[in-house]
Structure 1
Amino acid sequence: MKPLHIERVKKAISDNDRRKRYRAVDWLAKHDNINGLLDVMDNSRCDNTRLRAEVALSKYNFK
């Protein structure tokens, strides 16, 4: 998989293709983009995409 740039990731999050959304969330998690993952949780209309972002954020300890 080619690395996606952040603009393409933002576009992919709102795409109708589930695989593109999941790949974008995985890219954000791989590059430790916490703000991007939080944006996905706030703005995504797909429950499974939000859940995937939540799982990716669970590895960080927020106190």
Structure 2
Amino acid sequence: MTTIVDLATGQGLGVVDGHDHKLYRTVCTWWKEIEVLIITGATTGKVEAINTAIKNIKRTARG
């Protein structure tokens, strides 16, 4: 069981257990990237879409 604490205020936000703990660890691991998204709104969506289009063209070209 893990207690989630807001580091800015020190306030306890809740307790996680089981699958929630995995989500908590994932969010902690990616927090810097998540924070950048929240603050700037910048994503890699356009780049990912271009990469997908290129992969689809390659698949089509192979026949």
Q: Structures share a fold, TM > 0.5?
A: no
TM-score by length of 1: 0.26
The TM-score with structure 2 as length reference comes to 0.26
* Higher Cα radius of gyration: 2
Higher RCO (Cα < 8 Å, 6 or more apart): 1
